[in-house]
Structure 1
Amino acid sequence: MKKLFVSIAAASLLVSGAFASVASKAESNKAVAQAKTEVKKEQKELKIVQEAVDAVALTNKVLAELEKGNKDQAIKDLEDAIGKLEVVLSAPNAPALIPIDSTIEVVDFPGTLQDIKTAIISVKALLAQNKIQEARAILDTLRSEIVLKVVNLPLASYPAALKLAAKFLHENRINEAKNVLNQALATFVEVDVVTPIPLLQAIHLVEVAQKEAKKDKKKALDMLDEAKRDLKKAEALGYTSDSDTTYKMLEDMIEKVEKEIKGKNRAEKLFEELLEKLKEFKEKAVKKINK
């Protein structure tokens, strides 16, 4: 009978742990969903310059017309494209890069911290054998991030390229005009804004723990435990921050909150300090990458 009670108790603990894990995972997923919504909002607020978009479309049309031998129409379209960019250039404080398109990419590494460590060991072994492409295939999976990709037209060079192409067309130097236009279309600059998902999840989990600390200690502690795992995951994936705060400092702060919850449970100020540091750390971990 005693063994039966022990078995039931053990099973109860396992079920409880499973529910806790499910709850924290659900909150982590909620954090990603909220972050996606925020990035989509940023994307909507991004000012796509229609004149620049039209100029690019006309550039492609010019190339198509030239392939058909319609030089006169190509010249007309090219002049229209140049005119549209003149409008952009005439704007006060026109930026060097003009947004013409944007997309959102979400990549979330599905494995555990141990999976990341194992993958890194494999990559190092492959690199030691000069198996670069095999290593690259693994490295490409070691990402957990939301990326806002913005394609930009370089205002310093694109209009000049169109004018040069127009000059060549007037001189009947068709192939040279085509080359200039194709080169211009290859000069777009992609700017990626990369936000690490594990940091977003850690912040959200701490916020949930803050709300639950007085009502449900166990749930709060489970959330904090998951937040620590997310921080370790972010660190293992190589996401760095320009903050003076370190991953170790954040983990120590979480452990301090956990200790307080287990004790007198007066962790309000500790939560505020932790969230302030976490958010500052995350903001300075967001990277802009020009491609």
Structure 2
Amino acid sequence: MQKILFSTLVSSLLLTSVATADTNKNLSSKEVSTQSTTTAISDAKSHQVALVKEALKSLELSAKALEDLNKNKTDEAKKDIELALGKLEAILVAKDTPKLLPIETQMVIKNFIGTADDVKKAEAEVKTLLNLNKVQEAGELLSSLQSEIDVNIVSLPLASYPDALKLASKYLIDGNPEKAKAILKVALSTFAQEEQIVPIPLINSMELVAIASKIAKEDKEQALKHLTMASDKLNKAEALGYISKSTTTYKILHEMITNTEKEIKGPNKAEKLFHELAEKLKEFKAKILSTKETNKAE
């Protein structure tokens, strides 16, 4: 499920610039940047992973079974566990059954609106505050240095949850409700959590490059402005610490933008350069070190 979510969300955001470039030709660089952020947020919302209703209902029934046991209603607890397992039957017998069943999803937008220089100034201020032992103020300022779309998914681990219900049922049949309660408590408090992070400055840079490629022939001056801001956005992403597993580096991306700018100023046959730059940006963003998978016990 995690891989499916990642490809659905990120692939969608990677295509955002391609889909909107034709409609944003007449916008200024700042307007393009703002519009691409708004579009990416909207797109991320529309592609949030669907919660598995059967998993949610199964959890409700398991919680009810635990409540039944706390009230010494053993027979009711047995029925609820059977129903909880029944809710998962269709999933368990299906082909390519996912290992994780999403039960909760949340999206958070964090958008530091400053430039790369503003980031550096803030970092310097953080160091000053720490030297003055103003740790809380430093922490608050440091936490503001993020520009990203965060998608958090809490999932039910299918590898362990059904077995836990079966074991709880066995304990009840064997006349050991206390062990059944202990198993249910663990099953109802152990989840897998995944966090997806999509850096907003990279989305902005991709959109600016996409539109610059569309208008380079008809509006050379505006195309160059777009590329300048695209480079600025890369500086911001780097200053904020977004790192990619790609062999492409920020330095390489800046060099490609510079070469494209030179071509626009000269013969202006930059189509191939634009294509190569766009592809490198996509690949770089797709490999951002942003996926965190943890086991969550509550």
Tell which has more relative contact order, 1 or 2 (C-alpha 8 A, sep 6+).
2
Match of 1:61 in 2: 64
Question: Could you tell me which residue of structure 2 aligns to residue 161 of structure 1?
Answer: 164
Matched position secondary structure for 2:253: helix
Q: Shift in Å at residue 120 of structure 1?
A: 2.5
Structure 1 or 2, whichever has the larger Rg, is 1
Alpha-carbon offset, residue 290 of structure 1 = 0.8
Q: Find the counterpart in structure 1 of residue 47 from structure 2.
A: 42
Which stretch shifts more, 218-227 or 94-103? 94-103
Partner of residue 239 from structure 2, selected from 236, 240, 247 = 236
Question: If the length of structure 1 is used for normalisation, what is the TM-score?
Answer: 0.80
SS of aligned partner of 1:95: coil
Correspondences of 1:1-291 after superposition (within 5 Å): 23-43=28-48, 46=49, 48-124=51-127, 135-170=138-173, 173-285=176-288, 287-291=290-294
Query: Could you say if the C-alpha distance between residues 273 and 89 of structure 1 is closer, same or farther in structure 2, counting changes exceeding 3 Å?
Result: same
Q: How far off its partner does 1:244 sit?
A: 1.3
Q: Give yes or no for contact 1:62–1:78 (8 Å, CA) kept in 2.
A: yes
Q: 1:172–1:103: structure 2 CA closer, same or farther, 3 Å change rule?
A: same
Distance 1:178-1:29 versus aligned 2 partners, 3 A rule: farther
**Structure 2: distance between partners of 1:110 and 1:57:** 42
User: Partner amino acid for 1:211?
Assistant: K
Gaps of 5+ in 2: 1-26
- 1:218 alignment partner, SS class: helix
Shift of residue 81, structure 1, vs aligned partner = 0.8
Distance in 2 of aligned mates of 1:175 and 1:127: 51
The unaligned stretches of length 5 or more in structure 1 are 1-21
Following the alignment from structure 2 to structure 1, what is the Cα–Cα distance between the partners of residues 80 and 132?
A: 54
Q: Cα–Cα, structure 1 residues 120 and 64, in superposed 2: closer, same or farther, change >3 Å?
A: farther
* Aligned-residue offset at 1:133: 5.6
1:177-211 Cα distance to aligned partner (Å, 9 max, x none)? 33432322221112122211111110101111122
The 1:136–1:59 alpha-carbon spacing in structure 2 relative to 1, beyond 3 Å, is: farther
- How many residues are paired up? 268
Q: Provide the identity percentage.
A: 47
Q: Are residues 80 and 141 of structure 1, via their aligned partners in 2, closer, same or farther at CA, if it must alter by over 3 Å?
A: same
Whether the 8 Å contact between 1:196 and 1:286 is mirrored in structure 2 is no
